[in-house]
Amino acid sequence: MIKGLYEAHLPVSDLKQSVLFYKELGLELDHIVDDKIAFLWIEKDKSWLGLWETDNVKLEYHPSIRHVAFQVTLDDLKNSVAWLRDRGVKPREAFGFEPMEPFVMPHQQYAHAKIHFNDPDGNSLEFICKLKNPKEIATRMYLSEWEQLNKDDF
């Protein structure tokens, strides 16, 4: 039945500023509705992000209502800190990890490597990719440490 995620939505205070921000991340603007709602393709014709301009954007943060994780390749993730900074976006601390490089959160046979950052309205964003965890490592660590422990498996 379900084949994937088609859309996610975030509140924004300035639609034009937010559209420019997300276009800089590589999303493609599809259309704007009534100068208050924008739809940008995350993956053309597959998934998009809806941005809703509102005066009530300062909702208390909770990942269930103000968080989007974008899937990226491992190579892109490795370069993500510099890539974000080149675009004026500051990666942020998450789960106790300073944003000097992506970190890994393992879960049994797989793991996720990730880096977190915010949009101009403080919505939580992340770049993430799935990794194999053949040794079933259970400890969270920076990606460089993970690669060293798993160098024979990469």
**Where does the pLDDT of residue 153 fall: very low under 50, low under 70, confident under 90, or very high at 90 and above?**
low
* Cα–Cα distance measured from residue 92 to residue 84, given in angstroms and rounded to the nearest whole number: 11
Number of domains in the chain: 2
Residues 49 and 77 in one domain: no
9-26 confidence digits (pLDDT tens): 999 999 999 999 999 999
**Radius of gyration (C-alpha) of the chain in whole angstroms:** 17
State the residue range of the domain holding 83.
Answer: 65-154
Residues 122 and 141 in one domain: yes
CATH assignment at residue 128:
3.10.180.10
Q: Which pLDDT belongs to residue 45? A: 94
CB-based contacts of 60, cutoff 8 Å, min separation 6: none
Residues 49 and 99 in one domain: no
Quick check: 90 and 149 in contact, CB under 8 A? no
Residues 122 and 154 in one domain: yes
Residues 35 and 71 in one domain: no
Residues 36 and 52 in one domain: yes
How many C-beta atoms surround the C-beta of residue 152 within 10 A? 7
Q: Which pLDDT belongs to residue 34? A: 96
Residue 148, token pair as written in the block: 């060293």
Distance of CA 88 to CAs 21, 118, 119, Å?
10, 11, 11
76-111 confidence digits (pLDDT tens): 999 999 999 999 999 999 999 999 999 999 999 999
Quick check: 58 and 116 in contact, CB under 8 A? no
* Cα–Cα distance measured from residue 34 to residue 61, given in angstroms and rounded to the nearest whole number: 27
Residues 18 and 70 in one domain: no
Q: Which pLDDT belongs to residue 127? A: 97
Q: Which pLDDT belongs to residue 154? A: 60
Residues 119 and 138 in one domain: yes
**Model-level pTM greater than 0.95?**
no
110-141 confidence digits (pLDDT tens): 999 999 999 999 999 999 999 999 889 999 99
